[in-house]
């Protein structure tokens, strides 16, 4: 049986671009993303919201939302 893919970490990755404060991630998934200035994570982010987290990362215009799956130790989503 295939292991279920779970989000195990989400972070702001500004290694290539900076968060532009556009608010797209917060609009899609406010349980996880908050944009008071730059994006920060909610205090106890609900990482079971996998689809919303991935949609937020895909909607980020500068690719600064990083997602780790299954404790890989890497950024597993594309920039
Ligand atoms: S979608 Fe990306 S650029 Fe926009 S606020 Fe969120 S992290 Fe920042």
Domain 7-69 sits in CATH at: 3.30.70.20
pLDDT at 38: 94
pLDDT at 34: 98
Mean pLDDT value across residues 31-59? 97
The alpha carbon of 4 and the centre of ligand 1 are apart by a number of angstroms equal to: 27
Hey, where are the domains in the chain? 7-69
Of 59, 54, 66, the closest CA to residue 23 belongs to 59
Please determine, for residue 44, whether its predicted confidence score (pLDDT) is greater than 90. Answer: yes
Of 68, 65, 67, 7, the closest CA to residue 39 belongs to 65
For 55, residues 6+ apart whose C-beta sits below 8 A from its C-beta are: 28, 29
Does pTM surpass 0.85? yes
Which of 62, 63, 78 to probe ligand 1 with, by most ligand atoms within 8 A of CB? 62
């Amino acid at each position: 049986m295939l292991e279920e893919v779970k989000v195990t970490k989400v972070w702001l990755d500004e290694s290539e671009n900076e968060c532009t404060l556009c608010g797209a991630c917060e609009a899609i998934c406010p349980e996880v993303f908050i944009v008071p200035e730059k994006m920060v994570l909610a205090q106890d982010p609900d990482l079971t919201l996998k689809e919303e987290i991935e949609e937020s990362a895909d909607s980020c215009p500068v690719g600064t939302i990083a997602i780790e799956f299954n404790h890989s130790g890497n950024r597993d989503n594309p920039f």
